[in-house]
Structure formats: C-alpha cells, structure tokens
Copies of this chain bind each other. A is one copy, B any other.
Amino acid sequence: MTSGRVTIADVARRAGVSTAAVSKVVRGAYGVSAEMQAKVTQAIDELGYRPHAAARALRGRTYTLGVMLSDTRNPFFPDIIEGVTGRLRDTEYQVLLGPGGIEPRTQARMTDAMIDRSMDGLILISPVMTDAELAAIAAAVPVVVVGRHGGAGASSAAYDSVVDDDVMGARLVVDHLVGLGHTRIAHITHLERARAQGLPHTVRAEGYRQAMRAHGLADDVLATSFTEEGGFEGARELLARDDRPTAIFAGADIAALGVLRAADEAGLSVPEDLSVAGYDNIGIASLKRISLTSVDQDGHVIGATAARLLVERIEGRSRSVASSVSPTLIVRGTTGPPRL
C-alpha cells in the first residue's frame, strides 16, 4: 500500500472493471458509458492515481513537449517560454526545457536526449545546425523551429516555423531614423559564422541594407559581436571616422548598450550627437536611465504560436506552416533628429 505508486491496475480493482476500461477513461477514448466513466473517475480520485509517463511512452504518448534553448541568456527567451506555457496551460501537455548550449554538438546531444525520452514534439529555438540535421530530427518527431528564417525551401515541408519578421524590424528602424533626418546610419551586426545562414542577425543586416537602398542611402555594416563589448568596440571604430555616422543601429539591445557607453566615453550626447537604436526590446531598455529605442518582437506571441503549431502537427496536420510575427518599433529617448 504505502510502497510503490498507484497503478492503473489498482484503480481497476477498486472500480471493479478491467484495466483496459480504466485506460480508456483516462485517455478520454471512445467507448465508455457514463456509468463506467463515473465509477472509474471516482476510484481515480480516491486513490490519487497519476498516469506513469514512462509506461505510457512505451505504447502511446508522453504528453511532454520539449523546448530546446540555444542560449539561456537570450534576453527574450523568458517571453517565449511564457507564451508556450501559457498556451498549453489548460491542456494535458507539459513543457520541459532543454538547455542546448551554443555549440552545434551540444545542441544535437540535447535533441537526441529529448527524442530518447520520447517527447511528443519539439520546439527548437534558434537551432544552430544544418538543414539536413534539422530534417533528420523532424523525421523522428514533430518539430517547430523558432527564429530561423526559411532555409532551402524544399526541406521546409518537414517542420513548421515561426519567425520574427527581421527584415521588417530593420526597416522600421531605418525608416524611423531617416524620418528624423539621418542619412549616415551605420549597422552593427554579429560576426558571421559558418551555419549562420538564416539566423536573425544575418536577416536583420540584410533588411537594413534593403531599407537603406530603398532610401537611396549608402549602407555601412560592421560585424563585431552581440555583446556589450562588441557594441562598444564597433561604435568606437565607427565614431573615430572622419564622417562618423549620426546614428547607429545595433542588431541587438545588448550591443546597443555598448554603443551608449562608447558615446559616453567619446563625450557625445545621445541623441543630440548620436542616435542609437537596438533590437529585442529587452527589459532594461525601458528603464528610464537607459530609455533605448528598440524593436519589440513580442516573444509571447511567438511562443504561443509555436505551441499552437506544434500541437496541431502532433494531432495530425501534415501540411507545413511558416508563421511570421510582425515586430513593432518602440521609440524612446535614444533617437532624435541629428544636430545640424
């Protein structure tokens, strides 16, 4: 009695029915009378029965969805998580997060581990792996990819995807700055890596170039890294030039903070001497002391959409869906008209 957990067999004995019947009731499957339903539910409550996920996994579902996080420090990842869990709150599904690390190797290890644990579906956030690897995973389990812009169109049938429209986000920033009167607008991006194709920073940089071109302006992209230090170094280099830019658009808020520091040290006041904009709208961007103009991705919507698509996929949809979430520009104190 006290030893071991209560199983479906215990419930069946208590209710005076077969284990198969209990299983049906638990799963809400077809073919149970109201009377049976009542008897079994009562027995379940009395005994405090909880289904054993591992045993379920051997035949059916685990009702477990995995979210692989590429980088736990990603500032809007809590928003995405909240979106996912919020959407799934009233379902039977449970969400577990897998810290995949930044390395392709460790990410692969994590996805393997999630498949080994027979999760019903996976959400991969900014996965760093080849399209072939992605396709292999999607062949084993339903997958939704977040934050990775469509790779080779062909493979896209295997999984769904949710992205922020980074091209639009970049355009919003450029339009805003041009509207204020800026013409020399530089962009700081993340140093290109081998598998970076389709990753947000690449797309943002491309969106920036397109938007500048649309305004008939020359683009000016500098690749450092999406860190405070990276933003600082990049800005220092840009500000040392003869015809220094009057505005810097950093591809990530954390880099924008570094840009602000560089402006401080160069004795430039923001936004009079230099306008600064970021991307991601991280929490501290809204602090009065920082007040950074930034692009907001609404991670909440992204997460909720990913969860919805994944459940649809698990429950049978085979046609693949690519959803794009529109970002919004949050104008704050670090951008303004250039000094004449």
Measured CB to CB, the residues of A under 8 A from B are 50-58, 62, 64, 66, 72-73, 77-78, 81-82, 85, 94-99, 101, 110, 112-113, 116-118, 228, 257, 260-261, 264-265, 283-284, 287-290
Contact = CB atoms under 8 A, between A and B. Distances in A.
Identical subunits present: 2
A299 to B, nearest CB: 11
Given A85-B99, A95-B99, 13 more contacts: A50-B116, A52-B116, A53-B118, A54-B57, A54-B117, A58-B58, A62-B117, A72-B77, A94-B113, A257-B284, A261-B287, A261-B288, A264-B289
14 contacts: A53-B113, A54-B57, A62-B117, A66-B96, A73-B283, A81-B99, A85-B101, A94-B98, A96-B97, A96-B98, A228-B287, A257-B289, A284-B284, A289-B290
User: Which residue of A72, A110, A117 has the most chain B CB atoms within 10 A of its CB atom?
Assistant: A117
Contacts of A66: 96
Contact of A118 (B52, B110, B113): B52
A257 B82 CA distance: 24
B97 A97 contact: yes
Query: Which 9 A-B pairs rank lowest in CB-CB distance, beginning with the nearest?
Result: A54-B57, A97-B97, A72-B78, A53-B117, A94-B113, A96-B96, A54-B54, A261-B288, A53-B116
A96 B96 CA distance: 6
Contacts of A118: 52-54
Contacts of A62: 54, 117
Nearest to A290: B289
Contacts of A73: 78, 283
A99 B289 CA distance: 31
Contacts of A265: 288
Contacts of A113: 53, 94
Contacts of A55: 54, 57-58
A225 to B, nearest CB: 15
A57 B116 CA distance: 11
B288 A264 contact: yes
Contacts of A54: 53-58, 62, 117-118
